[in-house]
Amino acid sequence: MSWRQRARFLPTRGGVALSSLTVGIFAISQTTGAGWLTVLASVSAGTVAVGIVWPLILVRSTRFEISGPADAVAGRPFKLNVRVDRPTSGLQFEIVGLTSDPVWAEPPAAGTVEVTAQRRGVMQQVEVDVTCSAPFDLFTGRFRVGLNLPDPIYVAPQPHPMQLPDRLLGGSGGDGGGAGGSGPGEMVRGLREYATGDAMRMVHWRASARRDHLLVKELEPPERPRLVLIVDVSHTDAEKAAGEAAGLIQTARRQGHPVTLATYEPTGRLISDVGSTREAGRRLAAAIPGEPPSGPFPEGSQIIRLGQTTGTTFS
Amino acid sequence: MSTPFWRSAPVAEPESSVPLRSAVLASVLIAATAIVNEGLVGPAATTASLIGIPLAFWWSHHHRHRESALLKLAIAVGLIAALIGFIGQVRTAQIVSALDVQIPLAELFLWVQFLHSLHLPARRDLMFSLVSSLVMLAVASVLSVGMGLGIFVLLWLGGGLTSMHLAHASRLRTKLPLTDHTPPVPRRSLVGPAGAVLGFSVLAFLVFPTARTISPIVFPSKLSVISRLLHEGGLSNPSLGGNGEDVDGGFADRSSFGYFGFAESLDTSLRGRPDDTLVMRVRAQAPAFWRGQTFDRWDGRTWSSSFDAVVPISGEEAIQTLSTLGDDRVDSPDAERFLQTFYIERPGPNLIFGAYRIDEVFFGERYLLELEDGTLRTGVNLGKGSIYTVMSEMTPVDGNLLRAADPLAVPYPNVIATRYLQLPDVPDRVVDLAREITSGESTTFDKIHALEAWMADNTSYSLDIPPLQPGADAVDQFLFVDRKGFCEQIGSSLVVMLRSLGIPSRLVIGYTPGERNPFTGLYEVKASDAHSWAEVYFPGVGWQGFDPTAQVPLFGGSEVANTGSSLLSYLAGRFDALPQIVGRSVRVAGMAILVGVIGLLSWNWRAESRRRRMRSWAHRTLEAFEEIGGRRGIARSPADTPLEYLDSLELAGIEGARRAGELITASAYGSVDLDVSDVGIVEDLVDAHRSKGRR
């Protein structure tokens, strides 16, 4: 447990009612001389005192452990594993900064809490609002505690549906279905015997004539243009930029384009290829405000800048 | 379909916890019984409390999911009727004292609680009832003068703490639970807080200022049974035997708590002291001597009163007393009005007791008889349960004032000298002794102190003195022969010696303050607290009491600062009476502890056997599933947990196996008491698959 705020106390409605009654009974005992009223006022005061002190002891002795998945996506619920070892009376808690419902526990207890992160980022710590009014619900002790996670949770931005730029779409090549011969970007890897069903345009006529039987061309798969994303999360539209980057990466990878991501992270400027959507999510989660690297990038790459106040630009 | 007007929308959050409802009901019933136990409320309110409230709780629980406008209307009408009844009772009762209002008010509380109990759908309604029960207990506390209320306070504390604890658990459960299964309320989690509450309560009780009567706002008075005296104006004392009026000495039928000083005359040769029976309780802001009557005529052995004429006095509310012989008053801004309420516990003399000087009396009959010396008698017997309130006016005086108002120097009426200097033939050595002791003192005040000091040094208090020989002078016997005696001898000696010096004085009979009970706030006066002391007349100041026997100041004693010191003193006082009290208390406490321990052990045994049963059920059921799985070719590997194994059975088509696995795990390892319906479902599942296997 890394830090803990000073506990705050507030009376509940029951606490206000009992405290007022205690004062009233005591005042009446002082005017009527009825000794039993003093006893009753003492009993009420004792109950109020325990109602104040007990939650104080309980919330101070609370022990939490929280862990979560390695990866999550902003706006999509995920589960945190929570374990509460002390105190031994019921308490209520709520995860701060993440959308979640208040949860109650009767420690020792362990379970899961469904939460939703509203923005991307790397969660090293979770804040929990702990409330306890045990055992009599007269006064509520409340404090906030920050808990270090055993492993960070990478909250990736939620991908925005994005279309690739025309140039990438045009250069995607497709299945090599041209009118004849090898088209631009098609590289002949070798020749083989003709097999039934081979397209006539794939016949290598010169070699066939030389060998006196039909030979067809074997082509290298077409090389997709590289997509380079320069994501700057320094500006107010940072979340939108990260979401768009995630969307573009998703679309580009689906279509087979290699992707290079340039961001600014706590370790400094970083340019590297992203091998998977998960890796891309972690990179985008880790991006922090700062000027991302502007090169060098492989020749022929499609470079897209995201997150600048001028808006998304393509170059 | 539209909802009829008498059935409004369902309640937002009906409370379904039966334990919580039961705990609140218990608290309410305890508080209601505490009021009923005082024996002041009528049969209708008693029935509404003890039978109506449980039925109302039951009704309310079963109708918690819907609200009826008709029911609310009926409750409102009932409340109005109860209020009208209360106003009617108060109007017809011809209010004399606060007690006349308190009893109808207590009844009104009971009726309101009964009506409120009809509509307790939600948790907040139940909590309101709990608060209401505390108010009812406070009402009972005002009415109660005995120790019996203690058990109700303790029981209510148990019920109240349990209610609040269960309400807290119930409120928490409206949120999402961290774990999938809802654990039961931890049984032991209330023990610590309850112990802490007791500790804090005792601490608060010790430091709280003692309950005081700071202003004359209540004047309780009541007569238990009106039994008029045969001879109005005469002195009646049933505790001395006979019909209480025929007191001619001897007192052969005297009860153990009868004091022969509360009679027409006081024979100082009589032996036998009253026992420690509680004869009355006094609510007062400070201790004082509760004065009953005076004697002015001494014959060497017996005191009697020369006042036989009685004057009836009455009043609409308070009965004002008359100014009697020697009732001089100091015009002082420090004069205090001192309120005392007397609760009679044993039939005794028809005397009105009170600190000197009684100014007003609040008495149920509104009629009293006053003698010329200020002694107040009632026209009826004062039986157990009788209550009256006395307002005294007390003016603090100091030595300088009394020295200035010296009866040896300042003239005073002859009638006082005639009555209060009367002496028979006193032995010369008594007179000589008085002169010798006081020869060095110039004022009456100093002479009194010299005489008291001499008696303190040369005589001792003893209840075991030899019988007075016929013809012997009691004072002479005490001062020169026995040199020991009890308050009658000591007080008489002081009065006789003072009279022999020409100082007007008289013997007073009454009670010492008694012990203050820190729980009830009342002074408990025992029969053995009966006492006699001297009063001396100071011209312009009036009668001042002097007690040569005890060191307790006669008036203006300091108030008890806090309940703690009072409690210590009370407990120290109880130490003397340990054998009796211990005997009684040990029996009662022993029985209570025994019942409690048996209850606790049975509860634990029941819970443990249930847990054991459930554990063995879990093993049996798991074996049954292993058998079913084995027939299907799914054997349980040693590494499989029950949950994993039953999961695999679920995947193999045994629907419900996963749920059964959860229940088996919860029962075997979670110490959870399963719901009977859950157990039934699992067993049905086992039976169904076993029978399939057989076919």
Please write the tens of the pLDDT for every residue from B477-528. 999 988 888 888 899 999 999 999 999 999 999 999 998 888 888 899 999 9
Report yes or no: B220 at the A interface, CB cutoff 8 Å. no
SS3 B249: coil
Contact across the interface for A30 and B212, Cβ inside 8 Å: yes
pLDDT-derived band at A108, boundaries 50, 70, 90 = confident
Using the predicted structure, report yes or no on whether residue A314 has a pLDDT greater than 60.
no
Min Cα distance A311 → chain B (Å) is 43
Residue reference for tokens 């009026």: B245
> B151: which residues sit within 8 A by CB, 6+ positions away?
none
Min Cα distance B30 → chain A (Å) is 14
Question: What count of other Cβ atoms lies within 10 Å of the Cβ of residue B48?
Answer: 23
Nearest alpha carbon to residue A55 among A18, A15, A109, A115: A15
> Of the candidates B144, B168, B218, which has its C-beta nearest A136's C-beta?
B168
Min Cα distance B172 → chain A (Å) is 6
SS3 B80: helix
> Of the candidates A17, A38, A134, which has its C-beta nearest B521's C-beta?
A38
Nearest alpha carbon to residue B179 among A135, A77, A113: A113
Which chain A residues touch B167 with a CB distance below 8 Å?
14, 137
Report yes or no: A46 at the B interface, CB cutoff 8 Å. yes
| Average pLDDT over every residue of B588-613 | 68
Contact across the interface for A102 and B176, Cβ inside 8 Å: yes
> Of the candidates A35, A38, A90, which has its C-beta nearest B169's C-beta?
A90
List, edge to edge, every strand of the sheet that includes B297-298: B265-267, B302-304, B297-298
Cis peptide before B357 (omega within 30 of 0): yes
Which chain B residues touch A113 with a CB distance below 8 Å?
176, 178
Least reliable range by pLDDT among A16-20, A184-188, B599-603:
A184-188
Report yes or no: A88 at the B interface, CB cutoff 8 Å. yes
Contact across the interface for B168 and A137, Cβ inside 8 Å: yes
State residue B296's pLDDT score: 94
Least reliable range by pLDDT among A79-83, A298-302, B50-54, B448-452:
A298-302
State residue A299's pLDDT score: 81
Which chain A residues touch B183 with a CB distance below 8 Å?
106, 109
- Residues 536-575 of chain B with CB under 8 A from chain A are 563
Indicate left, alpha or beta for B300 from its phi (over 0: left) and psi (-120 to 50: alpha): left
Tokens of B237: 């004392």
State residue B7's pLDDT score: 56
Identity of the amino acid at B507: L
Contact across the interface for A109 and B178, Cβ inside 8 Å: yes
Which chain B residues touch A30 with a CB distance below 8 Å?
209, 211-212, 214
pLDDT-derived band at A269, boundaries 50, 70, 90 = very high
Displacement of CA B207 from its chain's centroid (Å): 19
| Average pLDDT over every residue of A44-65 | 88
Q: Give dist(CA B325, CA B372) in Å, integer.
A: 7
Instruction: Considering only residues B602 and B25, tell me which one the structure prediction assigns the higher pLDDT.
Output: B25
- Residues 132-151 of chain A with CB under 8 A from chain B are 133-138
SS3 B33: helix
| Average pLDDT over every residue of A89-113 | 86
Task: For chain A, give percent helix, strand, coil, nearest 5.
Answer: 30, 35, 35
φ and ψ of B288, to 5 deg: -155, 165
Within 13 Å, how many C-alpha atoms sit on residue B627's CB side?
14
With b for 16 or more beta-carbon neighbours within 10 A and e for fewer, the B611-621 pattern comes to eeebeebbeeb
Residue reference for tokens 């979770």: A126
Which chain B residues touch A18 with a CB distance below 8 Å?
131, 134
Nearest alpha carbon to residue A50 among A15, A21, A24, A83: A15
- Largest Cα–Cα distance of chain B, in whole Å? 125
Write down the ipTM of this complex. Answer: 0.75
State residue B551's pLDDT score: 45
Q: Given the DSSP bridges, would you call strands A259-265 and A268-273 parallel, antiparallel or unpaired?
A: antiparallel
Contact B282, B525 (CB under 8 A): yes
Report yes or no: B437 at the A interface, CB cutoff 8 Å. no
Average pLDDT, chain B: 83
pLDDT-derived band at B1, boundaries 50, 70, 90 = very low
- Terminal alpha carbon distance of chain A: 48
Nearest chain B residue to A29 by CA distance is B211
Is pTM beyond 0.80 here? no
Min Cα distance A183 → chain B (Å) is 54
Q: Looking at chain B, how many residues does it have?
A: 695
Report yes or no: B281 at the A interface, CB cutoff 8 Å. no
Q: Given the DSSP bridges, would you call strands B176-177 and A103-105 parallel, antiparallel or unpaired?
A: parallel
Least reliable range by pLDDT among A12-16, B217-221, B250-254:
B217-221
Nearest alpha carbon to residue B362 among B324, B335, B392, B322: B392
Q: Give dist(CA B14, CA B26) in Å, integer.
A: 20
Tokens of A275: 């091998």
Q: Give dist(CA B222, CA B341) in Å, integer.
A: 11
Highest mean pLDDT among A275-284, B59-68, B266-275: A275-284
Which chain B residues touch A36 with a CB distance below 8 Å?
140-142, 144, 149, 153, 519-521
pLDDT-derived band at A70, boundaries 50, 70, 90 = very high
Report yes or no: B151 at the A interface, CB cutoff 8 Å. no
Contact across the interface for B175 and A101, Cβ inside 8 Å: yes
Least reliable range by pLDDT among A154-163, B358-367, B433-442:
B358-367
Q: Given the DSSP bridges, would you call strands A139-156 and A71-73 parallel, antiparallel or unpaired?
A: parallel
Q: Give dist(CA B290, CA B351) in Å, integer.
A: 11
Least reliable range by pLDDT among B603-607, B671-675, B691-695:
B691-695
Instruction: Considering only residues B434 and B103, tell me which one the structure prediction assigns the higher pLDDT.
Output: B434
Q: Give dist(CA B507, CA B439) in Å, integer.
A: 24
> Of the candidates B168, B175, B203, which has its C-beta nearest A102's C-beta?
B175
Q: Alpha-carbon torsion B654, B659, B660, B662, what sign? A: positive
Least reliable range by pLDDT among A68-77, A170-179, B8-17, B509-518:
A170-179
pLDDT digits (tens, 9 = 90+) for B154-173: 999 999 999 999 999 888 88
Min Cα distance A27 → chain B (Å) is 9
| Average pLDDT over every residue of A64-72 | 92
pLDDT digits (tens, 9 = 90+) for B517-558: 888 888 999 999 999 999 999 999 999 999 888 643 333 334
Residue reference for tokens 């039993």: A36
Q: Where are the domains of chain B?
A: 7-175, 238-576, 584-694
CA distances from A20 to A45, A59, B579 (A): 10, 25, 42
Report yes or no: B252 at the A interface, CB cutoff 8 Å. no
State residue B611's pLDDT score: 60
Q: Looking at chain A, how many residues does it have?
A: 315
| Average pLDDT over every residue of A233-244 | 89
Which alpha helices (H) appear in B93-218, and where do they start and end? 99-117, 123-143, 149-172, 191-207
Identity of the amino acid at B349: P
Highest mean pLDDT among A241-245, B176-180, B327-331: A241-245
Mutation target vs A (from B144, B149, B178, B563; most A CBs, 10 A cutoff): B178
State residue B250's pLDDT score: 55
pLDDT digits (tens, 9 = 90+) for A116-146: 998 899 999 998 998 899 889 999 988 888 8
Contact A64, A109 (CB under 8 A): no
| Average pLDDT over every residue of A210-218 | 88
Nearest alpha carbon to residue B8 among B52, B73, B59, B56: B73
pLDDT-derived band at B302, boundaries 50, 70, 90 = very high
Least reliable range by pLDDT among A14-23, A173-182, A272-281, B647-656:
A173-182
User: Could you give the percent of chain B with pLDDT greater than 70?
Assistant: 81
Mutation target vs B (from A12, A37, A38; most B CBs, 10 A cutoff): A38
Q: Where are the domains of chain A?
A: 1-156, 173-219, 224-314
| Average pLDDT over every residue of B412-419 | 92
Nearest alpha carbon to residue A119 among A157, A81, A153: A157
Question: What count of other Cβ atoms lies within 10 Å of the Cβ of residue B365?
Answer: 16
Tokens of B518: 């820190």
